[in-house]
């Protein structure tokens, strides 16, 4: 019986000739990730268990991104604990204010993840790196601790769902619209503890940023991970960047999938997820011009804070002004992206329109800081979750959309199809 792409990566790291869905394995890790929220918990467990060393100080990443720059004393204390630990154990990939970025934008940029690697992270959106042909998945802080000590983790090998992508996206359609369309189709538990494997001729029309966005939101369908095949686009991105040795895995022709879907990218329209689940999707054609009046727009996050996302938003905002009463916060994913956007003149476009530009941070995505919603307020956001109270008050609402739709909505004050501007 053949194996899926994910199963092959797990088998290789477990030192086994093959694995099957449901099998319990122990596998060697290439990277262990934590942030300023989850790392302190892992450190506490580390110390409670009397550990005195880490398995490899070069294969642990601690990215201070959720509440940084520190928003209060608690946040400052958490970061200090992480900073002290990183210094004690010489963690080479510790990143703090000034050199950090949003973790799932920063790690690919730094070349810490790449084809064939196995990564766990104490953050649910660690599944992002499947865009590069890696197996990456979110875990709890206790598992992060175990990984830091041993360099290993237990896995239950996931079954898989195959998404055969055909056609070419049209107009303003981006990776965000693709994944929202898929989640709207299968539901937030449609891929529960399964691998979402994307393949087909349509993949070549998705750039790396699109793929990172799609893999990032695999968890919003309940998936264990999302993964793309390695092609020339992947190789070009990882060339002279990925610090490891790239290993390309392909699914066997007779690999077993629980389900298979064919998604014609040319038929997808700009899509918005209404409160309070990512599966509550509507296309812009199904939304009335004045159906949803908004108060705030957030463009950024580990889902859509990359340079192509900022360019898409700037393309819509150029020469336009925000609607009266609408706040727009733009958050580049990393310092490198921040600098690139600045030099390209995107900041001028954002500021001229009436938006503000933030240092890289997860901030408003999880209701942390830099744009909290009050009761009754509504936001269009390029983030990945719109649960009750996700970005502020429990009586606020979050509508998930692409950077183009978010920018167009900031201009009109209502959820808007950018094609209509």
Share of the chain above pLDDT 90, in %: 96
Helix (H) or strand (E) holding 276: none
Let me know if the fold of 5-264 is the same as that of 270-420.
yes
Q: Where are the beta strands (DSSP E) in 93-250?
A: 93-95, 118-121, 135-138, 152-156, 159-166, 194-199, 225-227
Task: Give the pLDDT mean for 120-145.
Answer: 97
User: Distance of alpha carbon 174 from its chain centroid, rounded?
Assistant: 14
Alpha-carbon distance values, 383 to 84, 305, 331, 348 (Å): 31, 9, 11, 23
Confidence of residue 180 (pLDDT cuts 50, 70, 90): very high
> What's the rounded mean pLDDT across residues 285-301?
92
pLDDT of 346-361, one tens digit each? Answer: 999 999 999 999 999 9
Query: Residue 223 has what pLDDT?
Result: 97
Q: What is the mean pLDDT of residues 231-237?
A: 97
CATH T-level fold of 5-264: Aconitase; domain 3 (3.30.499)
Q: Determine the pLDDT at residue 265.
A: 98
- For residues 236 and 113, the answer to whether their CB atoms sit within 8 Å is no
Evaluate whether 216 touches 384 at the Cβ level (below 8 Å): yes
CATH entry 3.30.499.10 includes domain 270-420: yes
The predicted-structure confidence for 152-164, as pLDDT tens digits, reads as follows: 999 999 999 999 9
pLDDT of residue 213: 98
Q: Note the pLDDT of residue 251.
A: 96
8 Å CB contact between 191 and 6: no
Rounded distance, CA 322 to CA 379, Å? 14
Each domain of the chain, given as residue ranges in start order, spans 5-264, 270-420
The residue assigned the tokens 């916060």 is 329
Q: pLDDT digits over 91-102, tens only? A: 999 999 999 899
Closest CA to 295 of 417, 392, 176: 392
The sign one gets for the Cα dihedral 164, 116, 140, 153 is positive
Which bin fits 233, alpha (ψ -120 to 50), beta or left (φ > 0)?
alpha
Q: Which pLDDT does position 68 carry in this prediction?
A: 87
Two tokens, residue 110: 């730094």
Sign of the torsion formed by the C-alpha atoms of 305, 235, 57 and 25: positive
How confident is the prediction for the chain on average, in pLDDT?
96
Beta bridge pairs of residue 162: 197, 260
| Strand positions, DSSP E, 291-416 | 296-300, 327-331, 356-357, 378-381, 397-400
Structure-block tokens of residue 179: 């994944």
Place 17 in a pLDDT band, splitting at 50, 70 and 90: very high
Give the rounded percent of residues in the chain with a pLDDT score beyond 70: 100
* Tens-place pLDDT, residues 255-275: 999 999 999 999 999 999 999
What pLDDT, on a 0 to 100 scale, did the predictor assign at position 199? 97
Place of tokens 């996050």: 301
């Amino acid at each position: 019986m053949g194996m899926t792409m994910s199963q092959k990566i797990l088998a290789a790291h477990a030192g086994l000739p093959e694995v099957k869905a449901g099998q319990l394995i122990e596998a060697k890790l290439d990277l262990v990730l934590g942030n300023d929220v989850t790392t302190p918990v892992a450190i506490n467990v580390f110390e409670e268990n009397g550990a005195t060393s880490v398995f490899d100080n070069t294969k642990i990443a601690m990215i201070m991104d959720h509440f940084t720059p520190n928003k209060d004393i608690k946040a400052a204390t958490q970061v200090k604990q992480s900073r002290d630990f990183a210094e004690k154990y010489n963690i080479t990939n510790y990143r703090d204010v000034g050199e950090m970025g949003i973790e799932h934008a920063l790690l690919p940029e730094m070349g810490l993840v790449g084809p064939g690697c196995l990564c766990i992270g104490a953050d649910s959106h660690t599944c992002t790196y499947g865009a590069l042909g890696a197996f990456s998945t979110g875990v709890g802080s206790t598992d992060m601790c175990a990984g830091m000590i041993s360099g290993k983790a237990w896995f239950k090998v996931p079954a898989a769902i195959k998404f055969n992508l055909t056609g070419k996206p049209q107009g303003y359609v981006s990776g965000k619209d693709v994944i929202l369309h898929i989640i709207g189709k299968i539901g937030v538990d449609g891929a529960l503890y399964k691998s979402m494997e994307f393949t087909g001729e349509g993949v070549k029309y998705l750039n790396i940023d699109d793929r990172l966005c799609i893999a990032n939101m695999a968890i919003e369908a309940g998936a264990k991970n999302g993964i793309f095949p390695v092609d020339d686009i992947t190789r070009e991105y990882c060339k002279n960047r990925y610090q490891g040795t790239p290993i390309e895995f392909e699914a066997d022709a007779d690999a077993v999938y629980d389900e298979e879907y064919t998604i014609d990218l040319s038929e997808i329209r700009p899509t918005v997820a209404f409160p309070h689940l990512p599966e509550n999707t509507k296309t812009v054609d199904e939304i009335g011009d004045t159906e949803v009046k908004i108060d705030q727009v957030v463009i950024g996050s580990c889902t859509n804070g990359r340079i192509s996302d900022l360019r898409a938003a700037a393309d819509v905002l150029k020469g336009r002004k925000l609607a009266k009463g609408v706040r727009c916060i733009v958050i580049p994913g990393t310092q490198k992206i921040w600098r690139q956007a600045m030099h390209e003149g995107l900041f001028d476009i954002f500021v001229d329109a009436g938006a503000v530009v933030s240092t890289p941070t997860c901030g408003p995505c999880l209701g942390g800081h830099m744009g909290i919603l009050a009761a009754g307020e509504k936001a269009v956001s390029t983030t990945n979750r719109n649960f009750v109270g996700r970005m502020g008050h429990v009586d606020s609402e979050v509508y998930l959309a692409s950077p183009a739709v978010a920018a167009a909505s900031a201009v009109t004050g209502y959820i808007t199809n950018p094609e209509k501007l």
